[in-house]
């Protein structure tokens, strides 16, 4: 993906719809069938050699390179952004024949206070800055404060906002409250795209995951995202399968194309391949581009680089040989 393409990552905004509970109220999700489908998905399709290398380069282009630690500093963000602009070593890029069009990541994701540092470090690269907001990760601050946090991040230069929903509204089935809050968050984003984090590990059932996905999309979410990375259970393939099928159903109702972002616990190149297989089989090649697919990760990038080096040399290096994000 060239730099000019990187500046056009964002398709038209999701216009949203009125709340339609009848679209999801009677939904049933077969847990055992979902788990069986997820378990066999990666065993029925194998990707080897140059095809695997190409898929891993594609995964890099879809990564939201993330740091969300309590001890984050401007300096750490600068290092993260340097890795975002040059995610692969020069010798690997040249050997893969990508020197004329080297890959960059999909976005850099940081806390609101560090958005300005990331924007400065990424100036001229075309890589957008994403910011978590709305009382991340719990989302339990008063709504006016959550909306103010969104506006602050946007004012600092964030082009994407990863909001967290109020999980109690899902657990109590208060769909009107959830819809109204996400709608207000979407309005607060202005031109920035909104990714709605469902914190699926807290939602208890796949039916709740499906319903929350539908309500968030009705309220105008441009992406739906699995997890904050702070729950006990983060991104899993059965949960992701449920979300992408909700996304597909919403598209059939409305014609809208909504993005998907798994995050939390995705650390290896093997994880990247598993989720690319999911997107390809369930939604098709259009959802293999960063406009509609992101992976929230940091350490995954080093393992992808390690696997690409193995493809080139036939030898595995120690993970410590590769710069971490």
Each residue's pLDDT tens digit, 6-63: 445 677 899 999 999 999 999 999 999 999 999 998 888 788 999 999 999 999 999 9
Q: What is the pTM of this model?
A: 0.94
Q: What is the pLDDT of residue 5?
A: 40
Burial classification of residue 167, based on how many CB atoms lie within 10 Å of its CB (0-12 exposed, 13-18 middle, 19 or more buried): buried
The whole-angstrom separation of Cα 240 and Cα 279 is: 9
Q: 211, 261, 271, 280: which one is catalytic?
A: 261
Residue 255 has pLDDT above 50, yes or no: yes
For the stretch 174-183, pLDDT in tens is 999 999 999 9
Rounded to 5°, the CA angle 50-55-59 comes to 145
Residue 244 to residue 246: CA distance in whole angstroms: 5
pLDDT digits (tens, 9 = 90+) for 274-308: 999 999 999 999 999 999 999 999 889 999 999 99
Mean pLDDT over the full length of the chain: 94
> Of these residues, 58, 195, 225, 280, which one is catalytic?
225
270 a catalytic residue: no
pLDDT value of residue 317: 79
Of 111, 104, 109, nearest to 125 by C-alpha is 104
Q: Output the CATH code of domain 3-7+28-321.
A: 3.20.20.70
Mean pLDDT of 237-262: 97
User: Residues 6 or more apart from 250 whose CB is under 8 A from it?
Assistant: 23, 213, 214, 217, 218, 256, 258
By mean pLDDT, which of 9-18, 201-210, 214-223 is the weakest? 9-18
For 13-136, strand residue ranges (E) read 63-66, 107-110, 129-132
> Taking the C-alpha atoms of 173, 179, 184 and 188 in order, what is their torsion angle to the nearest 10 degrees?
110
Tens of pLDDT along 227-236? 999 999 999 9
Q: Where are the domains of the chain?
A: 3-7+28-321
According to the model, what pLDDT value does residue 324 have? 61
Mean pLDDT of all residues in 63-90:
96
Q: Is 225 a catalytic residue?
A: yes
Length of the chain: 325
Reduce the DSSP state of residue 77 to 3 states and report it.
helix
pLDDT of 103: 97
What's the burial of 279, exposed, middle or buried (CB within 10 Å: 0-12/13-18/19+)? buried
- Classify residue 88 as exposed, middle or buried by CB count within 10 Å of its CB (0-12, 13-18, 19+): buried
> What would the pLDDT profile of 107-165 be if each residue is shown by its tens digit?
999 999 999 999 999 999 999 999 999 999 999 999 999 999 999 999 999 999 999 99
d(CA 132, CA 112): 7
State the catalytic residue, choosing from 64, 83, 85, 162.
162
Backbone angles phi, psi at 308, to 5 degrees: -70, -35
Is 257 in the active site?
no
């Amino acid at each position: 993906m060239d730099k000019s393409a990187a500046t056009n990552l964002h398709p038209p905004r999701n216009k949203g719809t009125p709340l339609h509970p009848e679209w999801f109220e009677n939904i049933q999700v077969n847990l055992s069938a979902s788990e069986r489908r997820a378990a066999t998905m990666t065993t029925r399709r194998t990707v080897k050699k140059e095809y695997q290398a190409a898929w891993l380069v594609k995964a890099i282009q879809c990564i939201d390179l993330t740091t969300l630690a309590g001890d984050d500093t401007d300096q750490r963000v600068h290092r993260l952004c340097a890795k975002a602009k040059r995610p692969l070593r020069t010798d690997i890029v040249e050997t893969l024949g990508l020197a004329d069009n080297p890959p960059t990541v999909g976005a850099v994701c940081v806390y609101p206070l560090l958005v300005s540092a990331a924007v400065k470090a990424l100036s001229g690269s075309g890589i957008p800055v994403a910011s978590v907001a709305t009382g991340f990760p719990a989302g339990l601050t008063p709504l006016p404060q959550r909306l103010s946090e969104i506006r602050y991040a946007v004012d600092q230069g964030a082009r994407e906002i990863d909001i967290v929903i109020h999980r109690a509204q899902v657990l109590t089935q208060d769909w009107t409250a959830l819809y109204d809050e996400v709608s207000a968050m979407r309005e607060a984003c202005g031109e920035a795209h909104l990714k709605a984090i469902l914190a699926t590990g807290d939602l208890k059932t796949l039916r709740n995951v499906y319903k929350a996905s539908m309500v968030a999309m009705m309220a105008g979410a441009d992406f739906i995202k699995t997890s904050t990375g702070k729950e006990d259970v983060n991104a899993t393939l059965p949960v992701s399968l449920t979300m992408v099928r909700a996304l597909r159903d919403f598209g059939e109702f409305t014609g809208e194309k909504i993005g998907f972002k798994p995050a939390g616990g995705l650390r290896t190149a093997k994880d990247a391949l598993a989720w690319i297989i999911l997107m390809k089989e369930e939604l098709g090649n259009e959802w293999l581009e960063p406009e509609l697919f992101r992976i929230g990760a940091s350490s995954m990038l080093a393992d992808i680089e390690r696997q690409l080096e193995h493809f080139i040399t036939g030898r595995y290096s120690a993970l410590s040989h590769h710069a971490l994000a």
